Amino acid sequence: MDKTEFTVRAMRDTDLPTCLTFTQQVKWPHRMGDWQLHFSQGNGSIIEDADGEIAGCILWWDYGSEYASVGLVVVPEHRQGNGLGRTLMDTVMSQTGARNLQLVATVAGTRLYQQCGFEECGFVYQVQGELTAQPEVTNSALSFSDLDETTLKDVIALDAAAYGCSRESLLKAVAATGKGLVAFNEGKPAGFAMLRTSGHGQTLGPVLADNDDTAKALISRLLADETGFIRFDLTEEALALKPWLESLGLAQVDKVSVMVKGKFLPSSQSGVTIYSLISQAFG
């Protein structure tokens, strides 16, 4: 046990290079650009020792008065065993107040989150790899529009219906980093998808749609002419798409637990299903 005194402070942009090394140590694929996006939209805390050396980090994202997501919780291996993870989680739980909290847990972190009152409520399936085949873009009764200032309003509304809260700032930030499509059925928004550079290549998420066929049509059109590494963080509701994605050369490489403290807000009652997440941290 390290007897050094530790203090918690707000995360600063100058902390990001150190935070990046932490995620590299645990073999998470984040780039500096990924850290910058998550930091710009979040509320970060750093724990440091008496010499000012960073000993851990955490972020949470505010989705209104009822809901928040927690992620990028890392304490380097040589600092573990000092209760630093619990201190970081206590900091976030104090900051978030009565909000319902969601996070995606690694196996190593599950016990800590359980001690903090989180319960497992589902799974996320990490499906990724190099495309070995192009998805067939089939004719459809749907119409499609590129993501722009006009269609972004439809995206924000669909996302709010599915999540039960507004993530407007986050969606605008993600949209600015890549490209997207919105699907329409008889003039009404039926789903959307975004593709951006992150991790080992590109991440396709979020994907929200009214049914599997709409989701596949959006994904097919976004991946048309794309090559290289693609990642999806699929929800349990998207498992029907997994064999299709595997036929394109992708493979499931991980299955992680979704844990909540309070209520799990996202609901399929809206008529829109969440197929793929922006990231495991963002939800």
pLDDT at residue 141, rounded to an integer: 87
The domain 127-276 is placed in CATH, from the list 3.40.630.90, 3.90.1150.10, 3.20.20.220, 3.40.50.150, at 3.40.630.90
Mean pLDDT of 147-175: 96
pLDDT score of 133 more than 60:
yes
pLDDT band at 136 (very low <50, low <70, confident <90, very high): confident
pLDDT band at 3 (very low <50, low <70, confident <90, very high): low
Specify the higher pLDDT residue, 139 or 65: 65
35 contacts 20 by C-beta, under 8 angstroms: yes
The domains of the chain are located at 6-122, 127-276
Mean pLDDT of 46-73: 96
pLDDT at residue 131, rounded to an integer: 94
Integer Cα distance of 18 and 15 in angstroms:
6
Q: Minimum mean pLDDT among 154-163, 188-197, 259-268: which range?
A: 259-268
Integer Cα distance of 175 and 101 in angstroms:
24
Point out which residues pair with 143 in neighbouring strands.
184
Helices 149-163 & 168-175 angle (0-180, nearest 10)? 130
Mean pLDDT of 184-196: 96
| Phi (first) and psi of residue 235, to 5 degrees | -85, 170
Mean pLDDT of 172-192: 96
pLDDT at residue 268, rounded to an integer: 61
The domain 6-122: what is its CATH number? 3.40.630.30
Domains 6-122 and 127-276 share a fold: yes
Query: Taking phi first (over 0 means left), then psi (-120 to 50 degrees means alpha), and beta for anything else, what does residue 150 get?
Result: alpha
Give the model confidence (pLDDT) of 98-121 as tens digits.
999 999 998 889 999 999 999 999
